[in-house]
Structure 1
Amino acid sequence: MRRLMMALVVLFALPAASQEKEVAVSDASMAVGVMSTVTETEVRHLHFMSSGAVLFHTTTARTDVPACAAGQTTRWAIDANTAAGKAQLAGLLAAHATGKKMSVFGTNTCTIWADTESVSYLLMR
């Protein structure tokens, strides 16, 4: 529990991104364009980069790896500079701290980190 509390303190201490807008998104619309998936996996090896990118590994390799991430089949990227990225990071840290398994859905692009697929959304049950 202490690790979770510390993770949340760090998360909300990150600077807020400017000019962000909240948009309501349905589960069906989030799935559009999502290519890679790894289900019921554990989160390992979190890397907090100076650019605000957060890289993490899963214990299971994903399906349908995009060409840009061919060498990184278990690594994913989140942009913690955005409101969406901060929300994803909070869920990621909670799963990591509690040992819960997650499903990770990718964008089929490597826009956050050149050789690592960007996360579209995360699912923790």
Structure 2
Amino acid sequence: MSKLVIGLIVFLWGMLVANASSQSGIVTSIQVRDDGLHWIYLNGARDERPACASGQVYWMIKDENSLYGKSQFSLLLTAYAAKSPVSIIGKGSCTRWGDGEDIGTVQLR
């Protein structure tokens, strides 16, 4: 019985991770709204997006007030200023904004 539960959990986790998208390219635009909302556009191909973000191409910083959110913004701003390529791996969710995928990882190239 416990093997079945563990197998189900692993399967469901795999489904969640499979829905996350990724993209590599140059940051073309960074938008910040007065309520703290941060969203980013990259050029370059993006693989399949989760259903919640299927109609949009931007990325969202999930929590701009957290340490990781500030770090993500700092890396993205640095990449924008230097025109350096980045890679973004999504979370497969649209928590911060209903149709923008949350950023999970930012890699400065």
Aligning the two structures, in what range does the TM-score lie when normalised by the shorter sequence?
0.7 to 0.9
TM, length-normalised to structure 1: 0.68
Count of matched residue positions in the alignment of Structure 1 and Structure 2:
92
| Aligned-residue offset at 1:64 | 1.9
Q: Which amino acid aligns with 2:22?
A: T
Aligned with 1:54 (options 35, 38, 57): 38
State the partner residue of 2:60: 77
Q: Which structure has greater helix proportion?
A: 2
| Aligned-residue offset at 1:33 | 3.2
Once the two structures are superposed, what CA deviation does each residue of 1:80-121 show, in whole Å capped at 9, x if it has no partner?
111110000000000000000000100010101111000001
Q: Is the 8 A contact 1:106 1:120 kept in 2?
A: yes
State the partner residue of 1:36: 21
- Aligned: 1:124 with 2:102: no
For 2:35 and 2:104, locate their aligned partners in 1 and report how far apart those are by CA, in whole Å.
19
- Structure 1 gaps of 5+ residues are 1-31
Q: Which has the larger radius of gyration?
A: 2
| Aligned-residue offset at 1:51 | 2.6
Runs of 4+ that moved beyond 3 A: none
Q: CA RMSD of the aligned region, Å?
A: 1.6
Q: Which amino acid aligns with 2:79?
A: A
| Aligned-residue offset at 1:50 | 2.4
